[in-house]
Amino acid sequence: MKGEEAGENGQSLYRRLATVLQGEIELGDRSANDALPSERELAAHYGMSRDTVRKAVRLLEEQGILYSEHGRGTFVAPSSVREMSRFLDSFSSDTRKRGGEAGQIILLVEQVPASLAVAGVLKIEPRRIVTRVKRIRTIDGNRIGIHDSHLVLPGAITKDDLNLTGSLYALLDRRFDLHAAEGLESVGSIAANTDDAALLHVSEGSPLLLCERITLSERRQPFEYCEMKYVSSYRYTTRVNRSGNTTK
């Protein structure tokens, strides 16, 4: 098994183990506040390395499914706490859960220098090259929003890549093993300008919901700044991960 961990799919093993452990918790095999076996015991039981076990446990802690107490160990979080923890859904995933069919019209995928504002929120140097992805988002063929993302990526993506995958977050997951873990958002309103109105098929000056999101990776590094504008008929929901600091 260690050979597999060192191979091409090594980074995904800990996620698979995390899914197994989470399933055991949801099925009641591990109850609230039960102590998790040691890393050594889990590694022996599942035939994986301790490093893989450590990463899986850390991921479940970040998701609020497990919690650790210094000097005592790691425990299963109570269901009330687990239900408070929510991770970001992609637009496509969220739309499917609503019973709709998500779509996109890709306006551009290009490499651009980061502006001072974008560099500031992404914590990078100004003028650094980032990937800009701008799309019209649709539900059941109806235009409901515009997503304009600036991303710090370890490689390039193309329009064809995004068209084939259909979901930006799914593409980043598959291509770079980059996972959206937490979002910091501000929500307001704005009047549709000439360009927005043309893209969304609404009248100029129509009210739009404006959401600005900074998306963090599992390592809590910002990798996306996205400006999202939605027509007023769209019901926007968001899911965020609770802070790891439980002292407040």
What fold is seen in the domain 91-231?
Answer: Chorismate lyase (3.40.1410)
Reference 217, options 135, 126, 151; nearest CA is 151
Q: What is the pLDDT of residue 6?
A: 41
Q: What is the pLDDT of residue 237?
A: 57
Q: Which carries the bigger pLDDT value, residue 114 or residue 183? A: 114
In whole angstroms, give the CA distance from residue 71 to residue 58. Answer: 16
The angle, 0 to 180 degrees and rounded to 10, between the axes of the packed helices 10-26 and 50-62 is: 60
Contacts for 35 with CB less than 8 Å, ≥ 6 apart: 72, 73, 74, 75
Q: What is the pLDDT of residue 162?
A: 95
Q: How far is CA 73 from CA 34, 36, 190, 243, in A?
A: 10, 7, 49, 20
In whole angstroms, give the CA distance from residue 152 to residue 131. Answer: 7
* Residue ranges of domains in the chain: 2-84, 91-231
pLDDT at 5 over 50: no
Longest dimension (CA), the chain: 63
Q: Which pair of structure tokens corresponds to residue 229?
A: 């504008």
CATH class for the region spanning 2-84:
mainly alpha
Lowest mean pLDDT among 118-122, 137-141, 181-185: 181-185
